[in-house]
A and B are shown apart, each in its own frame.
Chain A
Amino acid sequence: DQQVKQNSPSLSVQEGRISILNCDYTNSMFDYFLWYKKYPAEGPTFLISISSIKDKNEDGRFTVFLNKSAKHLSLHIVPSQPGDSAVYFCAASGGNSGGSNYKLTFGKGTLLTVNP
């Protein structure tokens, strides 16, 4: 059941360049999307999110773009830094109808390596 897909298991970029991580989803009930970063031996750390009523959200070097018609979102990191090297998870939530759950459905993750 791959409701959230990250088709690139890994990505390698040079320091200072742009990193673009992609995510696709199939469940049209999803209305909120999040990106988490994970270092080895640590839990996922919230990075940035976007509601389905928006198509872009920016926070410093990180920007998330949402294309609802294509059921696609992407995370842009500009400029990329070696400290950004980590696994990036795309996650989605939705269809909660006002309930208190808001569980997250995750993709498999993309390992980003930023080379000095």
Chain B
Amino acid sequence: EPEVTQTPSHQVTQMGQEVILRCVPISNHLYFYWYRQILGQKVEFLVSFYNNEISEKSEIFDDQFSVERPDGSNFTLKIRSTKLEDSAMYFCASRGLAPYEQYFGPGTRLTVT
């Protein structure tokens, strides 16, 4: 069964460093998302991406964040200068033509020290 994959599973970085979280969505999906879950809190929407551009972003997704689909398979989230409060589980999701049903990857746990 097709699935969304994410690498790495756990990333530890120092405050101020850049990190890139990688996702491989399901191959025939066209809509891509990043969400995050801070420990003990709800899963929060960060950004949606379609046709090589951002279709919507949340207030969390400030200038320190960017997304890219550098090739036909990967979808990346970059945080330019990490802060302690960026520590969270980051989930990538993708969907096909069915408008609502998103399929999530296993997540990347980002720890900023």
Question: B42 touches which one: A32, A93, A99, A107 (CB < 8 A)?
Answer: A107
B36–chain A nearest beta-carbon distance, Å: 11
CB of B25 within 8 A of chain A? no
The verdict on B56 contacting chain A, using a C-beta distance below 8 Å, is yes
B48–A103 CB distance below 8 A: yes
Residue in B4, B104, B105 whose Cβ sees the most chain A Cβ within 10 Å: B104
Instruction: Give the contacts of B42-92 with A (CB-CB under 8 A).
Output: 42-45, 48, 50-51, 55-56, 91
The listed residue (A42, A91, A96) touching B106 by CB distance below 8 A is A42
- Chain B interface bracket (under 10, 10 to 19, 20 to 34, 35 or more): 20 to 34
Decide: B101 and A49 in contact? CB cutoff 8 A. Answer: yes
CB < 8 Å neighbour of A104 from B45, B51, B55, B106: B45
The answer to whether A106 touches B50, judged by C-beta atoms less than 8 angstroms apart, is: no
Contact between B33 and A103, CB atoms less than 8 A apart: yes
Contact yes or no, A34 B31, CB < 8 A: no
A49-B100, A100-B31 known; A105 and B45 CB under 8 Å? yes
Chain A interface residue count, CB cutoff 8 Å, equals 26
Residues of A within 8 A of B6 (CB): 43
CA distance A43 to B106 in the complex (A): 4
- Please determine whether A108 and B42 come into contact, CB atoms closer than 8 angstroms: yes
Chain B residue contacts of A96, Cβ below 8 A: 99
Task: Give the CA-CA distance A49 to B103 in the complex, in Å.
Answer: 13
Q: What residues of chain B lie closer than 8 Å to A109, measured between beta carbons?
A: 42
CB contacts under 8 Å to A, within B12-60, are 31, 33, 35, 41-45, 48, 50-51, 55-56
The 4 closest A-B pairs by CB, nearest first: A43-B104, A106-B43, A101-B56, A103-B45
Residues in chain B within 8 A of chain A (CB atoms)? 4, 6, 31, 33, 35, 41-45, 48, 50-51, 55-56, 91, 93, 95, 99-107
A-B contacts, 13 of them at CB < 8 A, read A4-B42, A34-B100, A34-B101, A43-B106, A46-B102, A46-B103, A101-B55, A102-B102, A104-B33, A106-B35, A106-B43, A106-B44, A107-B42
